Amino acid sequence: MEVNLESIVDNALETAAKIGAYQSEIFGARGKLLVLMVEKSIPSAMTNYVGGLAVRVATEKNIGFAYTTSFSPEMIQETIKSALENAKAKGEDKYFKGLPPETPTTDITPTYDKSTAELSLDDVIDFYEAVKNTIEEKKKKIALIGGGVIAGEVEVVLKNSLGAGKQGKATLVSTFLYSLATDEIPPAIIDTYEARNSIKEIDPNKLGEKLAEETLKAKRAKEINYSGKVPVIILPTALSSFLWVFSEEIIAPNVDRGSTPFKREKLGEKVASEEVSIIDNPRAQDCPWRTSRDDEGVPTKEVEIIRDGVLTSHLTDYYYATKWGEEPTGSCRRVGRWSFGWDPLVPPGVSPWWIEIKSKNQDTLENIISDIKEGFVIKSVMGIHQSDFTSGKFAVPAFGWYIRNGEIAHPVHNLMLSGTIPELLRGIRAISKETERTEYGDLPAVLVENLDVVASKSPLLYRIGLKLFNILLRIGIVKHPLFS
């Protein structure tokens, strides 16, 4: 039976009013997801039909949240009652001013591609196989061993009792794939990420070629002893990891509690290199989650977080904007397991949509490398989630390449980067003209001056044993432990 999502949301609003809600908000979503996950070359595929309502019900003193995966009137009514009881149980919040009112804006229609919406699970599997075949055709002892492909469509209807809301349908295809070298231990491992609104915008053969070429460049990494402050080029994949920390440091909930080096009193102060401007732009043409309203109906806009090195804004939802006496930035999102930037089963929170990094000093990556006498290019970092958000401190293992006399000399194992996010931002001297799609946006590579880098060699006997094992592996006497 066809479900009219807008009618369900309208009826839920009426139910909330009947049971005595001061204000109410209903966020409804439904969709189809095709999910292919691969681990150690073993695939798992499924089709998920998903849907539900998220309910926020307000008293004059606070707001409560509840959700349901059922569209039945009985379950929706129980969910609304639960949200209202939750609001009452929370007591008074003196900063709560209610839900956002309707505010006019220039509307943007989400991208909906019919061919993507009509994909089958076989189509998704064929896409993955095309990437795999392209890599195998290179015959460079490189294998595609894992990751995933998610494709689907979603419909969203959001309305509140003050007239704010949004609705629309969108499609998305996202991929996270990784390959490794099959003739060495530890193996070179490279991953790639893509997210587009249409399957026609992603060429599986180009993805395979990219993975094969980058994995080949990462093979035969060396161990070196090194310690010092040197220029470091952070490639987009690694930069997106650092932006995960930065994004936590500029969202209102963490700023409000002081758990950030970018406190409110820092507004108007220089916090980064004057070469750098950082923008969150949910209206960007290339943003897969492009939207005219956020997930509580507030109009979105281009938000300058840092302009020419000066902190100019934090990201807010309606609650924190009213608490601070500011206009909301339209940064309220329901981010969860749906991989669409929408999830009706989670409460809304503050998060960036699509980060853009700009600089007055922009050059090709090749030219940036050519100007470095000694330094490193960093492809990936690990363990960034263990960073200290309050200070911005990080100390993370990394993989990359050693630069000597303006050229990439060789890949390097056992690197460690340390510093703070403010130091990293203040040290940026240039960004590349080239960009790469990441979960946070189409990001450039950035040149950071004087970043702390430590590299170390393993014990001699271990290195000798590993070298002998790799010789036997390449001539076929022993098998790779991941493929035995």
76: closest CA among 139, 31, 167, 12? Answer: 12
CA distance 18 to 6: 19
User: Which strands sit side by side in the sheet containing 63-68, from one edge to the other?
Assistant: 63-68, 42-58, 23-39, 142-160, 165-181, 189-196
Placement of tokens 């806009």 in the chain: 301
Burial of 480 (0-12, 13-18, 19+ CB in 10 A): middle
Asked if residue 189 and residue 58 are part of one domain, the reply reads: yes
Asked if residue 263 and residue 147 are part of one domain, the reply reads: no
**Structural domain span for residue 38:** 5-218
Asked if residue 145 and residue 19 are part of one domain, the reply reads: yes
Asked if residue 91 and residue 139 are part of one domain, the reply reads: yes
Q: For residues 437 and 288, is the Cβ–Cβ distance under 8 A?
A: no
Asked if residue 451 and residue 471 are part of one domain, the reply reads: no
Per-residue pLDDT of the chain (484 residues; tens, 9 = 90+): 567 999 999 999 999 999 999 999 999 999 999 999 998 778 899 998 888 999 999 999 999 999 999 999 999 999 999 999 999 999 999 999 999 999 999 999 889 999 999 999 999 999 999 999 999 997 789 999 989 999 999 999 999 999 999 999 999 999 999 999 999 988 999 999 999 999 999 999 999 999 999 999 999 999 999 999 999 999 999 999 999 999 999 999 999 999 999 999 999 999 999 989 999 999 999 999 999 999 999 999 999 999 999 999 999 999 999 999 999 999 999 886 554 445 668 889 999 999 999 998 899 999 999 999 999 999 999 988 888 888 989 999 999 999 999 999 999 988 999 999 999 999 999 999 999 999 999 999 999 999 999 999 998 888 888 888 888 888 888 888 777 6
Quote the strand ranges of 200-275, DSSP E: 226-234
Q: Which pLDDT score, from 0 to 100, does residue 340 have?
A: 47
Q: How far is CA 447 from CA 85, 224, 232, 355, 456, in A?
A: 52, 22, 6, 18, 23
Phi, psi of 394, deg, nearest 5: -140, 150
Q: How many domains in the chain?
A: 3
Q: For residues 244 and 384, is the Cβ–Cβ distance under 8 A?
A: yes
Q: Which pLDDT score, from 0 to 100, does residue 64 have?
A: 97
Q: Could you please report the per-residue DSSP string of 222-273?
A: B---EEEEEEEEE-HHHHHHHHHHHHHHSBHHHHHTT-SSS-GGGTTSB-S-
Asked if residue 401 and residue 328 are part of one domain, the reply reads: yes
Kindly report the length of the chain.
484
Q: For residues 65 and 26, is the Cβ–Cβ distance under 8 A?
A: no
Asked if residue 248 and residue 116 are part of one domain, the reply reads: no
Asked if residue 303 and residue 200 are part of one domain, the reply reads: no
170: closest CA among 181, 148, 154, 152? Answer: 154
Placement of tokens 């406190």 in the chain: 263
Burial of 373 (0-12, 13-18, 19+ CB in 10 A): exposed
What token pair was written down for 365? 């990556």
Residue type (1 letter), 151: A
Asked if residue 23 and residue 156 are part of one domain, the reply reads: yes
Asked if residue 329 and residue 432 are part of one domain, the reply reads: yes
Asked if residue 204 and residue 263 are part of one domain, the reply reads: no
Q: What CATH number did the domain enclosing 78 receive? A: 3.30.2290.10
- CA-based radius of gyration for the chain: 25
Asked if residue 277 and residue 210 are part of one domain, the reply reads: no
